Amino acid sequence: MKKEREREILQFLLDKNDWVKADIFAKQFSVSTRSVRKYVNEINETTSPSVLIMSSNHGYKLNEIVYHDILRKEPKETPIGLTPLERLYYVLKRSIAHSEGMDIFDLSEEIYVSTSTIEGDLKKAKNLLEKFSLSFKRDGDLIILSGLERDKRKLMSHIFHEETQDQFLHLESIQTAFGYDLKDFKEELIKVLASYNLYINEYTIGNILLHIVIATERVSQHRTISEENIGVLSETKEYRAALDIAKLIRSQFGTSFEGAELYYLTILLISKATVLSYDNLNTENLGEYIEQHYINLVNEIIQKVKDYYLVDIYGDEFLIKFTLHIRNLINRAKHNYLSKNPLTKQIKSSYPLIYDLAVFISNEIQKKENIQINEDEIAYIAFHIGAFLERQKALENKITCTVICPEYYNLHIPMLKRLEQTFGEQIEISRVITKLESDFGQIDSDLIITTIQIPKRTEQEIVHLNPFFLEEDIQKIQHGIAKINKKHSRTKLKKHLISLFDPHLFQHNIYLKNEFEMIRFLGDKLVQLGFIEKGGIDDIIEREKMSSTSFNNNVAVPHSMQMNALKSAISIVLNDKPVNWGSNSVQIIALIALNKDERNIFRDIYDSFIKILSEPENVYLLLKSKNYDGFINSLLSLMEE
């Protein structure tokens, strides 16, 4: 079994964090259950006597203790026995280190492969190198990596991310890879930034350290960046901070940063650091810390989000932090310093609507600022939106609650205070009953919290508590709230979703070259049936190019950001075999076309619909549908669960 497939299997089981049935496992990788058993046996043989993948009548599950133990003990790679991808990265790193060129025959002996194999690797590297404006040149037997020094450093950073698979760029990973002691340096770096009222969060401090280490390594080898016009930045506090950091680098590592090196370090700080003290900022004095252009841009975008999605993301604290973030993002994009985000895939799959709002915002910024924004930066925007909306959602969708607690030495009073402190943002206590002779049949709230037994009622969620409100009671209430929220969500989903389906928009086994051809195919049918205008297809493709709408390797949900359909509808394709969609493979395609007058439907159903479709078990059930009626019945059954 190839190493790539082995890694995919282990990552899949790690993400599921539970038992996975054999048929679901097989469906995920488009193989037979027999092949699954074979894969599991082969993987377990490599870790014997430890069992890495456990099996039972529940299916398969990753033994995380063994998994993490293996990761800790994994030896450093050597040139012998490298996979094709590992070999490619090895060749690239060697070519960066040897700017004068590498002899192909010496390299062949070094990594124990033929020169023809290396020639093949050089061809495979072409697409990757083009992303960094680099290329391989030949001078007889010499292989020379051609391009600017700054682009070679970006390639080094990319390879480090890919090889270490360290999502958060931990200090230990950087130290191990480059041999630098960074612990004291990191603390001093943070102190320098704080002295200039600058702040670097834990998501970006690793990127700063990686940049400094790579730059220090290259400068020490006399590989410097060509001169830039640093005069335009010399008046900024980030430049003054960069001067102090350069002194710190010289004292710690013996390397001098001058000229263009200082320029790029300054740009890095401008694009990644934010104002340390938010306490002194407000909407009135924000213009003293940040250019008015960015404030106007963010206000305009917030209004557009409200107009298009009927979602209001305005708030003083949000506006301040979000404007600072957008300013930094635009600076990063203009200088090609876009950030890596370790949680991009998780955000995209777990919070589809929030991510889609971030895509919309990114698209607006791209058009107005003439820049390109990648998926990692989109996910950072989603951080800000998600944090704000989750709190707003809790406040707007409070669950009504009745508390039943017999009056006995005022025991109900501390209970009510505890409920308010713990769940005040999630529940609204509409009624308190302290008398046993009350008519419980008149209770009409969503949730009943009671310390006594009452007749079972089917329409409400009942949580029985201890008289003195123990810690375990908090979990019971939270579970009850979650059940009610899920029920409300499913009711709303069912109400809206079924009205959007049409038997004429249900198809089986459509196989085309790529996702864009599929969108055009489905779009043409929507045009013919009068659901969208011809230009609507281009709008859907524009959204797809911003960020793939595939989720969890199972489903794609293409749609427009404009919500300009003549009539709202969902076009469904079920494929027996997976098709490529972006970097994923999918079997269910649900193209959503929405009319602007039904924008609230998109907001209400998008997250829930994707979560139903993207679960492997649900995909497996829906793919059994032989016709439109069978699909609708299966979907309805999933909504009832």
Residue pair 341/362 in contact (Cβ under 8 Å)? The answer is no
Q: Where are the alpha helices (DSSP H) in 74-170?
A: 84-97, 104-111, 115-131, 149-164
Residue 68 clears pLDDT 60, i.e. is over it: yes
Residue 510 clears pLDDT 90, i.e. is over it: yes
Chain centroid to Cα 50, Å, comes to 33
pLDDT of residue 394: 60
DSSP assigned state of 430: E
Separation CA 519–CA 559 (nearest Å): 9
DSSP per residue, 75-92? PPP-STT--HHHHHHHHH
Closest CA to 428 of 437, 436, 419: 419
pTM above 0.75, yes or no: no
Separation CA 333–CA 321 (nearest Å): 18
Task: List, in sequence order, every residue forming a beta bridge with 527; answer none if it has no partner.
Answer: none
| Percent of the chain with pLDDT strictly greater than 70 | 93
Separation CA 41–CA 195 (nearest Å): 57
pLDDT category of residue 525 using cuts at 50, 70 and 90:
very high
> Each residue of 147-164: pLDDT tens digit?
999 999 999 999 998 888
Residue pair 41/61 in contact (Cβ under 8 Å)? The answer is no
DSSP per residue, 329-348? HHHHHHTT-PPP-TTHHHHH
Chain centroid to Cα 631, Å, comes to 30
CB atoms within 10 A of CB 614: 21
> Each residue of 252-274: pLDDT tens digit?
999 999 888 998 899 899 888 88
Average pLDDT value for residue range 445-456: 85
Residue 600 clears pLDDT 90, i.e. is over it: no
pLDDT of residue 368: 95
> Each residue of 312-346: pLDDT tens digit?
888 888 898 899 999 999 988 988 877 788 788 88
DSSP assigned state of 259: T
Range from 149-158, 180-189, 407-416, 515-524 that averages highest in pLDDT: 515-524
> Each residue of 377-432: pLDDT tens digit?
999 999 999 888 876 666 566 889 999 888 775 677 888 888 988 888 889 888 88
Q: H/E element holding 299? A: helix 292-309
Chain centroid to Cα 149, Å, comes to 30
461-464 and 447-450 strand pairing: parallel
Residue 224 clears pLDDT 80, i.e. is over it: yes
pLDDT of residue 231: 60
Q: Where are the alpha helices (DSSP H) in 132-198?
A: 149-164, 171-178, 183-195
Residue pair 96/159 in contact (Cβ under 8 Å)? The answer is no
Per-residue buried b or exposed e for 210-235, using 16+ beta carbons within 10 Å of the residue's own CB:
bbbbbbbbbbeeeebbeebebeebee
Separation CA 277–CA 504 (nearest Å): 58
Averaged pLDDT of the chain: 87
Sheet with 569-581: strands ordered across: 501-508, 569-581, 584-593, 555-556, 550-551
Residue 440 clears pLDDT 90, i.e. is over it: no
Cα angle for residues 332, 338, 340 (degrees, 5° grid):
140
| Single-letter amino acid, residue 620 | Y
| Percent of the chain with pLDDT strictly greater than 90 | 44
Q: Hey, what are 45's tokens?
A: 């043989």
Separation CA 104–CA 113 (nearest Å): 11
pLDDT of residue 78: 46
Residue pair 405/377 in contact (Cβ under 8 Å)? The answer is no
pLDDT of residue 241: 95
Range from 46-50, 214-218, 345-349, 433-437 that averages highest in pLDDT: 214-218
Alpha carbon of 493 to those of 1, 487, 607: distances in Å?
42, 10, 10
pLDDT of residue 302: 94
Query: Phi and psi at residue 399, in whole multiples of 5°?
Result: -90, 130
Residue pair 294/270 in contact (Cβ under 8 Å)? The answer is no
pLDDT category of residue 95 using cuts at 50, 70 and 90:
very high
Residue pair 539/605 in contact (Cβ under 8 Å)? The answer is no
Average pLDDT value for residue range 550-569: 89
Separation CA 164–CA 167 (nearest Å): 8
Place of tokens 């206000």: 299
CB-based contacts of 469, cutoff 8 Å, min separation 6: 414, 415, 418, 419
617, HSE (Cβ side, Cα atoms, 13 Å):
9
pLDDT of residue 128: 93
